[in-house]
Amino acid sequence: MSHSEFAFVFPGQGAQKPGMGREVAERYPEAARIFREADEILGFPVSRLCFEGPADELVRTENTQPALFTTSVAVLRAVSNHMAPAAVAGHSVGEYAALVAAGAVSFEDALPVVRLRGELMADAVENTPGGMAALMGASEAMAGEICRDASTAGLVEPSNLNSPTQIVVSGESPAVARAVEVAKSRGVRAVRLNVGAPFHCSLMKPVQSGLEPALNALPIHTPDVPVVANATGDYVQSAEEIRAALLSQVVKPVLWTASIERMNAEGLHRFVEIGPGRVLSGLVASIDPGAETVAVGTPDDVEKLALQAG
């Protein structure tokens, strides 16, 4: 196994799709083992949900998060035969898979925490109706101004700083609707996202307090490779820093642009997106136009990557 100059990145909610992980589990015993362990740990067949759907069950937050985490780690196990990362990061719930890749947490320990995170966020959807919208072509400063001008209708905050041209905002539904209007009036394309909760903003405080005891009990080790945290856009090294980053991640914006730029500063311009979809590959290309990105979600993708790893 070669130590690469590739950073591994792991997708967040929205990347899930029925069929994810199935071919990888059929081809690689170490991937199949992860799905079996997940079924045992969770007490329900999350593997079947990943492999077959139905989509309306998979899209439920309490299911999406453990399903996505399990799939990403299963694909990681197949990739790990050929390559070890130079650094890791994950988008939102993807940060948990990144920490597994870095050896900071075990899959078995982290999975119940991820499931709880999903359940708490699903509860928040019921108790804190809100939404999210993507502002296309807005700078961070412009997104901040749009939120300030929309705050007459309620709380709305920047929540995902995804790329220099894509900022997501979260908040109370009337305020998000107002932010979309304000954005459009300034020539910014704005799209309401198909999510039922205002993730990564201060309205998620109840999730944070519910998750804290589980995070405090989670065994965390010093990572074997550098980990960049969503909440800070910088490296986290100690168990205390990792715990704090996972906790604050719930209510703070995902600093994805800063995270990629931090790895760029270390000379990393090659990225492997591990799990379903290609969302992060697109964001990375927007942040670092010279970057080499490879999305790995199927056995063919793994084999191609193995050839590159040499």
Where in the sequence numbering do the catalytic residues fall?
A: 92, 200
Number of neighbours of residue 249 by Cβ within 10 angstroms: 25
In this structure, what token pair is assigned to residue 81?
């035969």
CA distance 73 to 126: 29
SS3 76: helix
Quote the longest CA-to-CA distance of the chain: 57
CA distance 241 to 287: 26
In this structure, what token pair is assigned to residue 171?
């908040």
SS3 87: strand
Decide: 90 and 114 in contact? Cβ < 8 Å.
no
The residues, any chain, with a CB within 8 Å of residue 237's CB and separated by 6 or more, are: 222, 223, 227
Number of neighbours of residue 142 by Cβ within 10 angstroms: 15
Residue 24 Cα to chain centre, angstroms: 20
CA distance 216 to 295: 33
Residues in the chain: 310
In this structure, what token pair is assigned to residue 272?
């492997």
